[in-house]
Chain A
């Protein structure tokens, strides 16, 4: 209930510091990539094992089979009419051998949702 108002604070960044940090970050990214390329010459087998029932929509209960659970999956995943700033998605994660989905909200302008939406739109038009 409490609001505090400030005069704008200007954060001064040291450009040298910033450049150095950026360099280290890039190096770490590259090193990570390189190590994987060397380490995994042989392509791994595909282990995505995505339970197809997840696409059937979450209105039904899915228990047991394939150790798959939908957590906190309730209504449909379509965004509310009027278009809020966020879109609800299911994040699919593995917990050991079990698979789980969790709901998350992603900003509508995130590339991740945009591509999906564009495709959907395109498919609808066809």
Chain B
């Protein structure tokens, strides 16, 4: 009942460690290994010397004082216990080969006594040439092969000391592994990450404990997040599932809920109602901190009760398990990544290798904007290298570049391309761009079906289409909606509606390209025709051959609608309506209606669903999913030679590894190590280096990222400081001052054509009510004034973003604005107030940054991180206002630079908004040079 068994029947690492792998180094070649035949031992060892003077098997026999061995069944001699041909003695230290005098026949004979038996001398054997089985501390190499250099390099690099230690451990615990040697004590600091690793086992030894720490912390945090006395508002979703709405107040330093999270809702029971509980997943979060929880069980829900419910988090280890699994595959499965990538990722010195590919004539892709020079350069070099890093500073068209790369990779026909990113938002964005390059429809997955399904999908509500309306009505409604969306989307800030419209149009475009020719039933054909008309009107583009994109999402997220929903695997499965799939469809309908199936039907349903998913996934050219989803059992048997990871600087190394260990030969990591890295909750793990991304480590190892250099987001005045401070001045402007002109907006910018100022604030910081965060009342009051001025001048709420690094201040500003805002309360509610971190990867037309800290004796905390400052300064397209105390901030060298920059441009101001004056505030000397 609990988790639905996402990963059932799935073994990590493609079967895990081979039983016959050398227990020291992991070599698995059957010709190279022998088994110790001592009944209490039976471990396998190889005949390579590795870093020791004796071979691994000889090392073991000597250290453990074991003396008998058996060959592998797939070795040239087959499964054979080595023993004296004459007396059956099995002591390998006594055995050797002799050969017959005239024929090439050899036998094993023991040195004592058989070799000295007189009678033997009369026979046809040449006893003078007894050849010992163990020679030069190694088994005879023609009997037990020495693993190739390649195999040895890829094996665990075990030292003599480690061998001694593990042999010692085996005396008390025969099943111990080398990893047990590394296990830190409870209070020990974990081993920190390093730049280079001897082998993937050492890599695993470092990262596995860090992932464990993070997992334990996450579990502890989430499971402690119980809330009691909740008031529930009941509803029923379109899929007839029960939905519970309740307010889940967010507190400082607590985890944010995200759609897809699982919660358990409980009711302890009363005189009339028995105790009840059900697990569900979050489908929606409103700005008012209201959570919509779709329940798994629809039976027995106490819908007539509204008060006294409790909720707790259902923690799932899936993502952490998949990271551990990926590291294991990386170590034990030689096919997990190519040899080149294996050594490269571990930091070994490998000679530069080029990928031999015919390069396309043009590097752009259909459906995407023209590429600029640095983007073309990036696409071109990436296609020729087995490993590349692309650094995309803010607004430089990272996603478009990635989509173009994926397009060309898919065109090379090397099999399916896997495209990942750490977050669902990033995956959706990229999937949308990739699908814009054109979709080549596949016979099985007729997207025409998806179009049809608008009638019973949630989308119809969005487009205000009634169920059972005609195709023509639908098309009209869509067009109308789109028009409405264009007119109103800004004002309403309904980005979702806009993307959904785009998504729908794309579905339409898919429809016109190529359906199941001649196979459609009349109704479908009619729809296609309608679509063609509509689409050519909306889009005006000719159909082009392209790729088919499948977007794979986590099971828990399957019920969460997304702008690229039509690309999702579960969506395509649900909406596949061919006759072969009618059985699946029937079961699906039954399941939707009843909420559950009989166990035999459920079994049938699951296997049909899996088969269909496979069919669709295999026929796609591109698979998009989050890094963690790449470890989904549904992809277990897929192989991807080419993998692109977007936002890779926001993923931990083991997370990045998940999509890589599916057979990668060509890796593209896209990101920006000058912006925020992965979020690590456990301080111990973060200190040990888990927060460093693979991208960053590769940069430190000397891999030079290809930098995209033209930014299309910021007003040139806004990009100047970030370019100089974070990108060595290389950032060029792809937008002109005129394109970012704020005509018609009456806002008191101190310098015309410089839509920026630093607003000097001297108000005191305070500790927030929870005691764990900060707030600053004067800054909050001035944020309200700035927002009001923007709104009065004609800016709409969705154009404004308020950024503050402290949760205490965030909550205070939201509260303050809605109570004291000079204009309609609703307007302020629509303004996004959030942390720097949650703005990463996004943009707003106007940004107001409230720094909060104003204490001369303390640090400036969060704002000390240059990467966070970079992100904060690069979100705005048209204008930015920073509120803070220069006296405090100037102590930090980078902030000192920023303040000096503003001052030099006469943008450091104070006083009332309608009468801003240059500030003469004195800066402090910066403490140390920022490197």
Co-complex (A, B): yes
- Chain A residues within 8 Å of B, Cβ to Cβ: 2, 4-7, 9, 11, 13-14, 17-18, 21-22, 24-25, 28-29, 32-33, 36-37, 40, 43-44, 46-48, 50, 54-55, 77, 86-94, 101-107, 110-116, 119-120, 123
In the bound complex, residues from chain B placing their C-beta under 8 Å from that of A54 are: 103, 105
- Given known pairs A22-B53, A104-B142, the reply for A90 and B105 (CB within 8 Å) is yes
Which A-B residue pairs are the 8 nearest by beta carbons? A5-B351, A115-B129, A89-B104, A36-B112, A46-B119, A4-B339, A32-B93, A18-B53
B153 to chain A minimum Cβ distance, whole angstroms, is 7
A22 to B160: give the CA distance in the assembly, Å: 13
B110 contacts A36, C-beta separation under 8 Å: yes
B102 contacts A119, C-beta separation under 8 Å: yes
Segment with Cβ contacts to A, from B84-92, B185-193, B578-586? B84-92
Beyond the given pairs A24-B63, A115-B128, 12 more chain A to chain B contacts, judged by CB atoms under 8 angstroms and listed by A's residue number, are A6-B349, A28-B65, A29-B93, A32-B91, A46-B120, A48-B125, A93-B107, A101-B105, A105-B142, A112-B97, A115-B99, A116-B99
Could you write out 30 A-B pairs with CB less than 8 Å apart? A4-B339, A5-B350, A5-B351, A6-B343, A7-B349, A14-B160, A17-B161, A18-B52, A24-B62, A25-B137, A28-B65, A28-B67, A32-B94, A48-B125, A55-B105, A91-B77, A91-B105, A93-B80, A94-B85, A104-B106, A104-B142, A104-B143, A107-B142, A112-B106, A115-B128, A115-B129, A116-B100, A116-B104, A119-B101, A123-B102
A102 to B76: give the CA distance in the assembly, Å: 8
A22 contacts B137, C-beta separation under 8 Å: yes
Closest to A94 in B: B85
A92 to B108: give the CA distance in the assembly, Å: 8
In the bound complex, residues from chain B placing their C-beta under 8 Å from that of A11 are: 51
B123 contacts A93, C-beta separation under 8 Å: no
In the bound complex, residues from chain A placing their C-beta under 8 Å from that of B61 are: 28
B644 within 8 A of A: no
A112 to B59: give the CA distance in the assembly, Å: 25
A93 to B106: give the CA distance in the assembly, Å: 9
A112 to B142: give the CA distance in the assembly, Å: 12
In the bound complex, residues from chain A placing their C-beta under 8 Å from that of B349 are: 6-7
A50 contacts B123, C-beta separation under 8 Å: yes
In the bound complex, residues from chain A placing their C-beta under 8 Å from that of B53 are: 13, 17-18, 21-22
A48 to chain B minimum Cβ distance, whole angstroms, is 5
B interface, by DSSP: helix, strand, loop or mixed? loop
A21 contacts B104, C-beta separation under 8 Å: no
Most A Cβ at <10 Å: residue of B63, B129, B339 = B129
In the bound complex, residues from chain A placing their C-beta under 8 Å from that of B111 are: 33
B340 contacts A28, C-beta separation under 8 Å: no
In the bound complex, residues from chain A placing their C-beta under 8 Å from that of B137 are: 21-22, 25
Interface hits, B60-76 → A, CB 8 Å: 61-63, 65, 67, 76
In the bound complex, residues from chain A placing their C-beta under 8 Å from that of B153 are: 6, 9
Closest to B59 in A: A21
Closest to B122 in A: A46
A40 contacts B113, C-beta separation under 8 Å: yes
A67 to chain B minimum Cβ distance, whole angstroms, is 15
B237 within 8 A of A: no
A115 to chain B minimum Cβ distance, whole angstroms, is 4
A21 contacts B150, C-beta separation under 8 Å: no
A6 to B349: give the CA distance in the assembly, Å: 6
- Chain B residues within 8 Å of A, Cβ to Cβ: 51-54, 58-59, 61-63, 65, 67, 76-78, 80, 83, 85-89, 91, 93-94, 97-108, 110-114, 117, 119-120, 123-126, 128-129, 131, 137, 142-143, 150, 153, 160-161, 338-340, 343, 348-351, 353, 665
B142 contacts A92, C-beta separation under 8 Å: no
In the bound complex, residues from chain A placing their C-beta under 8 Å from that of B142 are: 86, 104-107, 110
B639 to chain A minimum Cβ distance, whole angstroms, is 15
In the bound complex, residues from chain B placing their C-beta under 8 Å from that of A86 are: 142
Closest to B153 in A: A6
In the bound complex, residues from chain A placing their C-beta under 8 Å from that of B108 are: 91, 93
B165 to chain A minimum Cβ distance, whole angstroms, is 13
A125 to chain B minimum Cβ distance, whole angstroms, is 15
Closest to A40 in B: B113
- Given known pairs A2-B338, A46-B119, A46-B120, the reply for A28 and B104 (CB within 8 Å) is no
B91 contacts A46, C-beta separation under 8 Å: no
- Given known pairs A77-B103, A92-B85, the reply for A32 and B78 (CB within 8 Å) is no
A28 contacts B62, C-beta separation under 8 Å: yes
A6 to B52: give the CA distance in the assembly, Å: 20
B101 contacts A91, C-beta separation under 8 Å: no
A48 contacts B126, C-beta separation under 8 Å: no
A99 to B769: give the CA distance in the assembly, Å: 86
B96 to chain A minimum Cβ distance, whole angstroms, is 9
A111 to B169: give the CA distance in the assembly, Å: 39
A43 contacts B117, C-beta separation under 8 Å: yes
A83 to chain B minimum Cβ distance, whole angstroms, is 15
B105 contacts A89, C-beta separation under 8 Å: yes
In the bound complex, residues from chain B placing their C-beta under 8 Å from that of A88 are: 104
A15 to chain B minimum Cβ distance, whole angstroms, is 9
Cβ contact of B67, chosen from A5, A32, A77, A110, cutoff 8 A: A32
B91 contacts A104, C-beta separation under 8 Å: no
A44 contacts B104, C-beta separation under 8 Å: no
Most A Cβ at <10 Å: residue of B85, B104, B125, B349 = B104
Closest to A103 in B: B76
In the bound complex, residues from chain A placing their C-beta under 8 Å from that of B348 are: 6
Closest to B96 in A: A112
A121 to B89: give the CA distance in the assembly, Å: 34
A46 to B353: give the CA distance in the assembly, Å: 61
Closest to A27 in B: B62
A102 contacts B120, C-beta separation under 8 Å: no
A104 to chain B minimum Cβ distance, whole angstroms, is 6
A116 contacts B126, C-beta separation under 8 Å: yes
B112 contacts A37, C-beta separation under 8 Å: yes
Closest to B91 in A: A32
In the bound complex, residues from chain B placing their C-beta under 8 Å from that of A104 are: 76-77, 106, 142-143
Closest to A34 in B: B112
Closest to B50 in A: A11
A117 to B49: give the CA distance in the assembly, Å: 31
Closest to A47 in B: B86
A77 to B52: give the CA distance in the assembly, Å: 37
Cβ contact of A91, chosen from B94, B107, B131, B353, cutoff 8 A: B107
A114 to B111: give the CA distance in the assembly, Å: 20
A126 to chain B minimum Cβ distance, whole angstroms, is 13
In the bound complex, residues from chain B placing their C-beta under 8 Å from that of A107 are: 142
A100 to B126: give the CA distance in the assembly, Å: 20
A86 to B145: give the CA distance in the assembly, Å: 14
A105 to B225: give the CA distance in the assembly, Å: 67
In the bound complex, residues from chain B placing their C-beta under 8 Å from that of A13 are: 51-53, 160
B102 contacts A120, C-beta separation under 8 Å: yes
B105 contacts A44, C-beta separation under 8 Å: no
B357 to chain A minimum Cβ distance, whole angstroms, is 15
In the bound complex, residues from chain A placing their C-beta under 8 Å from that of B77 are: 91, 93, 102, 104
In the bound complex, residues from chain A placing their C-beta under 8 Å from that of B86 are: 44, 46-48
A44 contacts B103, C-beta separation under 8 Å: no
B85 contacts A93, C-beta separation under 8 Å: yes
A115 to B343: give the CA distance in the assembly, Å: 44
In the bound complex, residues from chain B placing their C-beta under 8 Å from that of A32 are: 67, 91, 93-94
In the bound complex, residues from chain B placing their C-beta under 8 Å from that of A4 are: 150, 339-340, 343, 350-351, 353
A106 to B94: give the CA distance in the assembly, Å: 20
Closest to B98 in A: A112
A105 to B143: give the CA distance in the assembly, Å: 9
- Given known pairs A6-B349, A32-B67, the reply for A89 and B160 (CB within 8 Å) is no
A33 to B37: give the CA distance in the assembly, Å: 20
A55 to B506: give the CA distance in the assembly, Å: 78
In the bound complex, residues from chain B placing their C-beta under 8 Å from that of A44 are: 86-87, 113-114, 117
A89 contacts B339, C-beta separation under 8 Å: no
Closest to B111 in A: A33
In the bound complex, residues from chain B placing their C-beta under 8 Å from that of A90 are: 103-106
B518 to chain A minimum Cβ distance, whole angstroms, is 42
A119 to chain B minimum Cβ distance, whole angstroms, is 6
Closest to B61 in A: A28
